Amino acid sequence: MAADERGRAPVTASTVHLPVMPNEALSALQPHDGGCYLDGTLGGAGHTSLLLDASAPDGRVLAIDADPLALERARVLLPEAIAAGRLVLVHGNFARMGELASAANFAPVDGILLDLGLSSDQLADRERGFSFSHDAPLDMRFDTTRGASAADLVNTLPEAEMADLLWRYGEERRSRAIARRIGEARERQPITRTSELARLVAGVVHGRPGGIHPATRTFQALRIAVNDELASLEAALPAAVDLLRPGGRLAVISFHSLEDRIVKRFFQQEERGCVCPPELPECVCGRAPQLRIVTRHPLTASETETAANPRARSAKLRVAEKIETQIEAGN
């Protein structure tokens, strides 16, 4: 296979990513013929393909990804759906789904899916720097066209901020010691490769035999920071509610507690509506509930699925439905 000018193999339709909780995601979104859906995290196009199939022959899907390679792959994988006008691919951050959907003539929509984090294709791509198992440039950006890389953060963040980042996004107990070790190492020369960082961390964090790699939490924290993942999710949730038509559903699959907590609290808040302090005798904010929670407790993957796809082990699916806003009599 011929390489392009960057030395990369051309994108093919092959993806190693398996869509997580496919049946549960479909039951949540209830796609139907002629419906209009938004997949905010195209990835390997697994859920997008399922949505297209389940909404055939006339349903439409707008699929967004920050990663240009995911879009290139989907163009090769799903040319018929694109040619038929049933699939529209957009490069961008799902935090901006409102404007991206309006620009593509996709508002309002009947269902929205967010399947957070990174795809197995990104993890397996040795050039992207997401994995501590292969030596690669320390990059970790979903969107390779913009923004600071993991190497930029590792080489420029003050030590205290680095420690804070590792603690907040990785729940890494040795955050200060790791940040100190990074500070010492980068004084000698910039840290540019995943293997260097993994080695530095392993010198400070002593994993248990058979346990996770000592650099797991550091790599997770850096990836979350590089891609501003939690802020994107916080911006995306209200945008999703605005974009849904009444009765439409929002399904979010998260992979760690930081994400799941944001989704859970947002759903609870939007089901409650009112944001007045509890000590007020009556509501003065006038905010009406916007969502009905469909999954009181998050759904998790079956044993059969986790045996076939270990990545599904930590997945949590939460679903909510947009309700008709109550218009008070006399208004």
CA distances from 109 to 37, 177, 289 (A): 6, 48, 19
Element (H, E) at 67: none
Are 55 and 87 in contact by the 8 Å Cβ rule? The answer is: no
Residue 167 makes contact with ligand SAM by CB under 6 A: no
Q: Which is nearer to ligand SAM, 118 or 198 (CB)?
A: 118
CA distances from 138 to 69, 86, 132, 134 (A): 18, 37, 10, 11
Are 150 and 130 in contact by the 8 Å Cβ rule? The answer is: no
Strands 244-254, 316-322: parallel, antiparallel or unpaired by DSSP?
antiparallel
The contact pattern for ligand SAM, residues 178-217, with x = CB under 6 A and - = no contact, is ----------------------------------------
What is the rounded radius of gyration, in angstroms, for the C-alpha atoms of the chain? 21
d(CA 65, CA 299): 24
Residue 111 makes contact with ligand SAM by CB under 6 A: no
Q: Which is nearer to ligand SAM, 196 or 305 (CB)?
A: 305
d(CA 193, CA 107): 43
Closest to 240 in 3D by CA, of 140, 130, 319: 319
| Beta carbon of residue 221, minimum distance to ligand SAM (angstroms, whole number) | 16
Residue 64 makes contact with ligand SAM by CB under 6 A: yes
Pseudo-torsion of CA 49, 55, 60, 61, nearest 10°? -40
Q: Which is nearer to ligand SAM, 47 or 318 (CB)?
A: 47
Residue 260 makes contact with ligand SAM by CB under 6 A: no
Tell me which residue has its CB nearest to ligand SAM: 43
Interacting stretch for ligand SAM, rule CB under 6 A, among 89-97, 103-111, 218-226, 289-297? 89-97
Q: Which of 61, 66, 222, 319 binds ligand SAM (CB under 6 A)?
A: 66
Helix (H, G, I), strand (E, B) or coil at 162: helix
| Beta carbon of residue 142, minimum distance to ligand SAM (angstroms, whole number) | 4
Q: Which is nearer to ligand SAM, 118 or 204 (CB)?
A: 118
Q: In the window 3-22, what residues touch ligand SAM (CB under 6 A)?
A: 17, 19
DSSP symbol at 68: H
Interacting stretch for ligand SAM, rule CB under 6 A, among 37-45, 174-182, 244-252, 285-293? 37-45
d(CA 77, CA 73): 6
CA distances from 237 to 138, 195, 231, 269, 322 (A): 30, 36, 10, 11, 12
Closest to 190 in 3D by CA, of 138, 239, 231, 241: 138
Residue 41 makes contact with ligand SAM by CB under 6 A: yes
Are 18 and 120 in contact by the 8 Å Cβ rule? The answer is: yes
Q: Which of 11, 36, 47, 123 binds ligand SAM (CB under 6 A)?
A: 47
Residue 128 makes contact with ligand SAM by CB under 6 A: no
Residue 67 makes contact with ligand SAM by CB under 6 A: yes
Residue 142 makes contact with ligand SAM by CB under 6 A: yes
The contact pattern for ligand SAM, residues 217-256, with x = CB under 6 A and - = no contact, is ---------------x------------------------
Contacts with ligand SAM by CB under 6 A lie at 17, 19, 41, 43-47, 64-67, 70, 93-95, 115, 117-119, 142, 232
